[in-house]
Structure 1
Amino acid sequence: MEGPIPSTILRNSVVVATGAWGLVKLEPVLALSPFVLNAAIAIGAVTAIGGTLIAIAQIDTKRSLSYLVSAYMGIIFIAVGAQQTDAALLLVLTHAVAMATLVASCGSIILNNITQDLTQLGGLWSRRPITGLSFVVGALGLIALPPLGGFWAMLELADELWMTRPGVVGLLLLINALSAFSVTRTFGLIFAGDVKPMTVRSPENLWAITLPMTMLAGFVLHVPLILNSLSLLPAWATLNKDLALLLTWSSIFGVSLSAVLYVGNFVKKPVQLPWKPLQDLFAYDFYTPRIYRSSVVGSVDIISRITDWVDRYIVDGLVNLVGLSSIFGGEALKYGNSGQTQFYALTIAVGVVLTALWVSWSYIAHLSITTQIVSLLTGN
C-alpha cells in the first residue's frame, strides 16, 4: 500500500483479485454449510461498510484508495456467500481495471508533487487535465453509474438478491453511495480547490507514465462493449429497471453530496464531523492497528520473551553445565596422570572390572536369590 506505485497497482488490482478468484473457486466447498455462507455475507458487509467509512477519513491518497479495495473485496464476499459466482467474477474484473486507473492517475500526481498527503494537494485540474480525466473515468467505472462496468456488475449481484435478500440489497446501495462519496472526495481534494505550495508546479508527467494511465482509462470505457460482445449484459426486456434506478441514484447521491463538500467552495476545509470521537474512530481505522498491536503483536512479544528466557537460562544453562563439567573433569584428571604405562593399564583394568560388575550386577543378584531358594528346598 505504501510502496512504489507499480507495486501499489499490482496489490490493488492483481493480488487482491487473485485472492478473490480463489474465494470464488472455493464457493462449492463453502456451500456445504449454510452457516459458512451466512458468515461470509456478514464478514463482507462489515468489511465493505467499514472500509468505505475508513476511506472517507483518510488523508493519504493511497490509503484512501486501498481501503476502497478492501470494501469491494467485502462485496465479493457477499456475492460468494449469496452463491452468485458470476457476479463475483464480474466484480473482480470491473473493480480491477477501474482501481488500476485510479491508482495510476494518483501515482502520476505523487511522482510529480513528491507527496501523497491530500491536505497538501489541490487545484490540479487546470494543470493536469489528462490525469484528471483518467481519474474521473476510473472513479465512474468503479461505482454503479451506467453505462460503465461497475454498474453492470453491481446490478447483476443486486438483481439476484432482490427477491431473496432485500436487506443485503439495501447494504449494497449504502456501500455504493459511500464509495461514490469517497472517490469524489479524493478527486476534490486533489483536483479542485485552491492551488497549494506543493501543486504550484505540476505539469503532466512523462509519456511513459501518462500513456499506460490513458490506456487503462480507455479499457475502463470499453469494458461495457467487451461485456456486450461476450453476451454478459442483460437484455433490456429483462432488466430490473427499478433496481437500476436505485443503484444510479445512490451513486448520484454519493457523488453530489461529496461534490458539495469537497469540490465546491461552500464548506470550509478540512471538513470535520460534529463529534470528534467518531471522526477519530474512522481516521484511526476503527483502532484496528492498536487492537492488533495489543493482541497479536503483544501476544507474540510475550511468547518471544518467554522463549528467549528459556533458551538463555535453561537450554544454554544445560549446555554451559556440560561444558563446565568437562572442564572441571579435565582439570581434575590432569593431576592424576603420572605418565607411567603401568598406571594407565591399572586404570583401564579397574574400569573394565567396575563396568563388568555394573553390567552383570542384575545377573549376580538373580543368581544369589536362586542359590538361597535351592538351599531352602534342600534343607541345607
Structure 2
Amino acid sequence: MIFAYSLAMGLLVMSIGSVVWNSITQDVRALGGLWAKRPISGISFLVGAAGVIGLPPFGCFWALSELAGGLWNTHPSLLGILLFVNGVTAFGLVRVFGLVFGGKPKQMTERSPEVSWPFILPMTVLMGFTLHVPHLLAAWQLLPLATLNYTAAGLLVLSSAIGIGAGAFIYLNEKWEKPVRIGSQAVQDFFAYDFYTAQLYRVTVVFAVGLISQIISWIDRNIVDGFVNLIGLATVFGGQSLKYNVNGQTQFYALTILFGVALLGLLVSWPLLARLSLIVGG
C-alpha cells in the first residue's frame, strides 16, 4: 500500500508542481484550459490520480481491495468508511483536474507552456513506474488474486466510478455554474473551509501547545531562573560580606578561626548535649 500510494502521490505532486512553477497564481479557480497547453502534466496527473484510488488495474486498487476484503468479514462499518473516502477522493481529484486542465483558458493560463525537460524527464520516469506497479507486484508475488473478495472489490470500483462520474459531470461540464453552489450557506462554508479543519486544529492542538509553552516559559523564567539568580545573589552577598574581614590583623584571623571551630563543634555535639540535658533533667 505504501509503495503504490507513494509513487502515485509523488506523481500527483510533481504534475501540479509543474503547473505551479510557471503559473502566476496557485488558485485553482483562476486556472483552467491547460490540457491543450500542458498535455504531459495533464496525463501525469491522470495517471497519478488513477494510481491513488481504487481503480483497476493500478497499484492502489490491489492494496485497497485487499483491505476491503478484510473489512468485509470483520468490520463492515469500516468498509463503508473506506468506500466513502475512496469515492470522495476520486471526486476531489477529478475536481482539481477539471479546474486546472479542463474548461477554457483564463487570463492566468493564456500563456502557460509546458515546463522544460528537467521537470518533464523525472515526471515521465515516475509515471512509468506508477504504470508498472501492478507488474512489479506480480513479479514480487504480492497481487492478492487468490484471496480477492470480488464483492468488496466491485464495491470499491463502484465507489471510484461514482466519484469520477460525479466529478466529471460537475467540473468537466461547461454548463454547470462555477463555483458550485450547494444551497445552504452553512453547508457551503463547511466544504469551502475544508470541514473547518484549520479552525479545529487552531483551537485544539495550537491552543494546547501554546498553553504548555507559556507554562514552561513561566516556570523557566520565575522558578529556574529565580533559583539560579538566588544562588548568584547569595554568592555575591557572601563575597561582599567576607571582604570586610580581610584587615591584615593576625589576631582577628585567629579569632575568626576559633569562632568557626567552636560553632562547628557546637553543631556536631548538639545531639549529645540534648541527650545529656534529658538525662540530667530526668
Query: If the length of structure 1 is used for normalisation, what is the TM-score?
Result: 0.64
CA contact (8 A) 1:227 1:233 kept: no
2:180 is aligned, of 271, 278, 281, to 271
2:108 alignment counterpart: 198
2:58 alignment counterpart: 148
1:343 alignment counterpart: 252
Pick which of 261-270 and 281-290 moved more: 281-290
The 5-angstrom pairing of residues 200-215 of structure 1 reads 200-215=110-125
1:299 alignment counterpart: 208
Pick which of 249-258 and 184-193 moved more: 249-258
RMSD between aligned alpha carbons?
Answer: 2.9
Cα offset, 1:258, TM superposition: 0.8
Cα offset, 1:182, TM superposition: 0.9
2:4 is aligned, of 82, 94, 98, to 94
1:185 alignment counterpart: 95
* Distance in 1 (alpha carbons) for counterparts of 2:196 and 2:202: 10
The question of 1:260 aligning with 2:260 is answered no
2:103 maps to amino acid: G
1:47 alignment counterpart: none
Structure 1 residues 163 and 201: CA distance shift in structure 2, 3 A: same
1:105 maps to amino acid: S
Aligned residue pairs, count: 281
Cα offset, 1:244, TM superposition: 4.5
Deviation digits for residues 270-302 of structure 1 (CA, Å, limit 9, x no counterpart): 223222222333343433433333333323333
SS in structure 1 of the partner of residue 111 of structure 2: coil
Cα offset, 1:324, TM superposition: 4.1
The 5-angstrom pairing of residues 1-380 of structure 1 reads 91-231=1-141, 232=143, 234=145, 242-335=151-244, 337-370=246-279
1:102 maps to amino acid: L
Q: With a CA cutoff of 8 Å and minimum separation of 6, indicate the structure with the bigger relative contact order.
A: 2
Deviation digits for residues 21-80 of structure 1 (CA, Å, limit 9, x no counterpart): xxxxxxxxxxxxxxxxxxxxxxxxxxxxxxxxxxxxxxxxxxxxxxxxxxxxxxxxxxxx
SS in structure 2 of the partner of residue 261 of structure 1: helix
* Distance in 1 (alpha carbons) for counterparts of 2:241 and 2:144: 91
Structure 1 residues 360 and 175: CA distance shift in structure 2, 3 A: closer
CA contact (8 A) 1:118 1:190 kept: yes
CA contact (8 A) 2:34 2:112 kept: yes
Cα offset, 1:124, TM superposition: 0.4
Pick which of 160-169 and 205-214 moved more: 160-169
Structure 1 residues 187 and 369: CA distance shift in structure 2, 3 A: closer
Cα offset, 1:334, TM superposition: 4.7
* Distance in 2 (alpha carbons) for counterparts of 1:336 and 1:162: 89
The share of aligned pairs that are identical, in percent, is 52
Cα offset, 1:328, TM superposition: 4.5
1:43 alignment counterpart: none
Structure 2 unaligned blocks of 5 or more: none
* Distance in 2 (alpha carbons) for counterparts of 1:227 and 1:330: 77
CA contact (8 A) 1:260 1:266 kept: no
* Distance in 2 (alpha carbons) for counterparts of 1:156 and 1:282: 31
* Distance in 2 (alpha carbons) for counterparts of 1:176 and 1:354: 83
Structure 1 unaligned blocks of 5 or more: 1-90, 374-380
Cα offset, 1:367, TM superposition: 4.0
Structure 1 residues 174 and 359: CA distance shift in structure 2, 3 A: closer
1:28 alignment counterpart: none
SS in structure 2 of the partner of residue 113 of structure 1: coil
* Distance in 2 (alpha carbons) for counterparts of 1:261 and 1:328: 80
Query: If the length of structure 2 is used for normalisation, what is the TM-score?
Result: 0.84
Pick which of 169-178 and 191-200 moved more: 169-178
* Distance in 1 (alpha carbons) for counterparts of 2:81 and 2:195: 19
Cα offset, 1:108, TM superposition: 1.2
Cα offset, 1:246, TM superposition: 3.5
1:137 maps to amino acid: V
